């Protein structure tokens, strides 16, 4: 069975973003890349904003699937430490590019995009209020380390040598180590 039209459009839109290095996308360019007409694209995504929300949803769902694979159990059953560890592992092991960064960064300027990211990723980063301060600090530091790594890798700005990736993951693992007796 082939890829459905909506998915083809979303993958086409991502390819356009990748080809443009994360620049903006047009409905025409996305339709061409997906092999559909502009009216065909607009049947699924009536506006450029709707297409961008669809792309963010698509990418955020990919992140979520990758993290669930690392987690190995339903999100609701995972401790904050395990959720953050799954994020760290994905951020440090998957390949990202400028299009990934652009999709994330656009959320700063558009509420609908920020809402899509929050809906998919906020549960992964939620830390309970009663979490001890030191543990909260370690989990947050590991998360921010992963944020920084994937951002540097995706943008190519001040990139971290590939040979350092394993050591960064080792440091993050030490931060995420369970220190309860």
Asked if residue 81 and residue 19 are part of one domain, the reply reads: no
Is position 122 within any domain? yes
Q: Which two tokens stand for residue 60?
A: 């955020």
Domain coverage including residue 127: 60-175
End-to-end CA distance of the chain: 52
Is position 66 within any domain? yes
Asked if residues 79 and 130 have their Cβ atoms less than 8 Å apart, the reply is: no
Asked if residue 99 and residue 144 are part of one domain, the reply reads: yes
Q: What is the pTM of this model?
A: 0.86
What pLDDT, in 10s, does the model give residues 115-171? 888 999 999 999 999 999 999 999 999 999 999 999 998 888 888 888 898 999 999
Asked if residue 159 and residue 76 are part of one domain, the reply reads: yes
> What is the four-CA torsion angle of 103, 120, 145, 170, rounded to 10 degrees?
-120
Count: domains in the chain: 2
What pLDDT, in 10s, does the model give residues 59-98? 999 999 999 999 999 999 999 999 999 999 999 999 888 8
Question: What is the per-residue DSSP string for 91-110?
Answer: HHHS---HHHHHHHHGGGT-
Asked if residue 157 and residue 70 are part of one domain, the reply reads: yes
Q: What residues have CB less than 8 Å from 23, skipping those under 6 apart?
A: 17, 102
Asked if residue 96 and residue 24 are part of one domain, the reply reads: no
Nearest 5°: the CA angle 9, 15, 18 is: 145
């Amino acid at each position: 069975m082939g890829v459905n039209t909506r998915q083809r459009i979303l993958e086409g839109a991502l390819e356009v973003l990748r080809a443009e290095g994360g620049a903006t996308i047009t409905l025409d360019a996305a339709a061409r890349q997906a092999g559909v007409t502009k009216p065909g694209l607009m049947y699924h995504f009536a506006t450029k904003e709707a297409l961008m929300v669809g792309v963010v949803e698509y990418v955020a769902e990919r992140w979520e699937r990758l993290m669930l694979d690392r987690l190995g159990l339903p999100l609701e059953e995972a401790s904050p430490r395990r959720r953050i560890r799954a994020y760290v592992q994905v951020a440090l092991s998957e390949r990202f590019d400028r299009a990934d960064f652009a999709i994330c960064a656009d959320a700063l300027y558009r509420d609908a995009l920020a809402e899509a990211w929050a809906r998919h990723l906020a549960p992964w980063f939620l830390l309970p209020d009663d979490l001890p301060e030191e543990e909260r600090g370690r989990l947050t530091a590991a998360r921010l380390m992963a944020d920084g790594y994937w951002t540097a890798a995706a943008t190519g700005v001040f990139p971290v040598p590939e040979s350092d990736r394993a050591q960064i993951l080792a440091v993050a693992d030490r931060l995420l180590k369970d220190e309860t007796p």
